[in-house]
Amino acid sequence: MPTSGPDAMQPALRRRRRRQGFLLPFACLSAALIAAALLPGAAFADGVTPSEARRLRDEVKDMFYHAFDGYMQHAFPLDELRPLSCQGEDSLGGYALTLIDSLDTLALLGDKERFDAAVEWVGKNVRFDINKTVSVFETNIRILGGLLSAHLIASDYATGMRIQSYDDQLLHLAADLAQRLLPAFDTPTELAIRNRPRVWTHITSTAGGGTLTLEFGVLSRLTNDSVYERVTKNSVRGIWARRSKLDLVGAHINVFTGEWTQKDAGIGTSIDSFYEYLLKEAYKAAMHYLHHDPWYVEVNMNSGATVWPLFNSLQAFWPGLQVLAGDVDPAIRTHAAFFSVWKKYGFTPEGFNLATSTVQNGQRSYPLRPELIESTYWLFKATRDYRYLDVGRDILASLQYGAKCPCGYCHISDVETHQQDDHMESFFLAETVKYLWLLFDLAAGPDNIVENGPYKYIFSTEGHLLPATPQITLLDEHCLYAGAFCNGTAGHGYGTGDSSNKHQNANSVPFDDSRTPSDQSLSNILSTTRGYIKGVCPGLTHAQKLGISYSAEEDNSIQQNSGSSENLDESHVIKSSVQAQSSSVILISHPVASQTEGPTSGRSQYNANIVATAESVGTDTAGASSHPEDLVKETESVSEQKEINDKEIASQGSQPTEGRYLT
């Protein structure tokens, strides 16, 4: 693929500006690509049509099977495929990593035959009683998440993928694995130890210690054993309790002393997925100190001074997360900026220096990461703007012509030369291909369990599908954020209202207590209902309406703060309109007016901010329809978030490069 031409960015005018004593010469990127991408409704002359979307969806499916069959034929049961040499390698623990990571993608594609066979093989053959040092973070998101997702699909008739002979084998494996990981949390700070293959270390990344709650929490709900959820929540609380006075967290922390060993704060490498689980609490500070529209930089967590003007590929998940938070306007601009880097090289390098507009030395590779296509999917889902299908088509073309190998798809070792590397990580099948397929399937007329299935689905940071079923979201205890499902024994009345009507869909069943026989238990209702029962539950706290559970000792403080929590503070939301740039360059701008104010003095003032409820994602700041009924990822930032108040933080103790896949 050419690396220059009409789509390539050209060096442009540089402008200097000072920020807290640090002189930053930011080279500007070509306005042509970004401005064209920002124009509302803009599409290329040969924009993707619905019929082409169907063809592209089928091409992505073929892409999946080229890589999956290559793995099964040449690498299985080893962890991962070497797609150039058509061999296999054990990269994580030696338990068929790529197969487990791909299980829910098989289900998403409707391949029941292979899904059944894969689940049966894993249940019979995978064992974790082995002497291996593994990455807690990677094992959690890839293996534990993959097992739980496949279990929830295989055990439920409503998914259409129920396996008749299935007897919770994957759930038993997941519990066994989690038990073996529990010692990692036995530290003085309760922060999780981060182990790498063959290396033991007392330093953990913020992402590594703060991106465990969803999988462990789901396991607690499925096994009725609270220990898994408790230890992971203690870990993420411990990290947040040690944030700086600016409400920023660093990149690495010592799990025994609680001291930060790397104090660079950013949204990318080593921190990225932490924001997915704590977005509500951390978003305001991130936008104030890290956002230089449309880019994001790394700053010192204590002073806020910029230390690293770099775009790294792991940052590309951020626009998708912003969509789920309802902050669509800046997401559009940032996505366009990130995609302009892809257009320049055909791939996104691990690091792109904003000061020089060049690839960062030592960070020239593209290891088939999914973050940019993930954000593309969520932006298309929110806006239905077909420009994002054009983006998807370009990404697909780059993968087909630059990364396709004899037995799968190769890492790109240098985005400028497009030299291939003999590796294919499991997340290529778990995420990259999955999000591409979902994008085109959505445009073609979706027919999959995510869009048309019986549940709303949460996507884990590894892209695993976790249904918001009553058992997981504890609907028998309080209202669900997407509607309401109340416990009749808790003294809350049943009723329907306007707030639930706008979320009605084919899977919704409105009801009130006049239609519910007094002798009919909630469990009976659950057993006969597919999907959500909508309604309004009076007398609940803000957190309960969001579907967040609390331990008993927290209830009093939460209820005291519930009044102020009801009104979400949206002062941090950037409301600048999307428009074409009139100049020949795009510069990193000064923060907008809403960001120039200093950080709030009381942390609790924005503990309730940026909650991705179905209501909050319904309208974006650009005025475009966001299709709230479609924004159903309801990610970790909602389902697993906690309202952390100052009393909790005090009880934890306060003290003044690994990402989702980078160890």
Residue numbers belonging to the annotated binding site: 461
Phi and psi (nearest 5°) for 150? -65, -40
Phi and psi (nearest 5°) for 586? -115, 120
- Do strands 29-30 and 203-205 pair parallel, antiparallel, or not at all (unpaired)? unpaired
Compute CA distances 415 → 158, 304, 344, 368, 478, whole Å: 44, 32, 9, 11, 50
Q: Please list, in sequence order, all residues whose beta carbon lies within 8 angstroms of the beta carbon of residue 517, skipping any fewer than 6 positions away.
A: none
Among residues 247, 281, 371, 421, the one annotated as catalytic is: 371
Catalytic, 272? Answer yes
Residue numbers belonging to the annotated binding site for Ca(2+): 461
Kindly report the number of other CB atoms within 10 A of residue 519's CB atom: 6
CA distance 326 to 322: 6
Among residues 116, 190, 229, 272, the one annotated as catalytic is: 272
Could you tell me where the DSSP H helices lie in 368-514? 371-383, 387-398, 427, 433-444, 449-452, 470-473, 498-501
CA distance 371 to 435: 9
CB 425 within 8 A of CB 82: no
Catalytic, 425? Answer no
Report the candidate in 47, 44, 10, 57 with the shortest Cα–Cα distance to residue 439: 57
Q: Tokens 């040499």 correspond to what residue? A: 85
Longest dimension (CA), the chain: 74
Catalytic, 120? Answer no
Q: Tokens 């060049």 correspond to what residue? A: 358
Compute CA distances 16 → 30, 428, 592, 645, whole Å: 17, 39, 18, 40
Q: Report the phi/psi class of residue 61: left, alpha or beta, with left for phi > 0 and alpha for psi in -120 to 50.
A: alpha
Catalytic, 636? Answer no
Among residues 80, 104, 111, 138, the one annotated as catalytic is: 138
CA distance 434 to 228: 28
CA distance 108 to 306: 42
CB 263 within 8 A of CB 250: yes
> Can you spell out the DSSP letters for 88-116?
EE--SSSS-HHHHHHHHHHHHTT-HHHHH
CA 629, chain centre distance (Å) = 19
Which tokens in the block code for residue 442? 């959505």
- Residues classed as catalytic: 138, 272, 350, 371
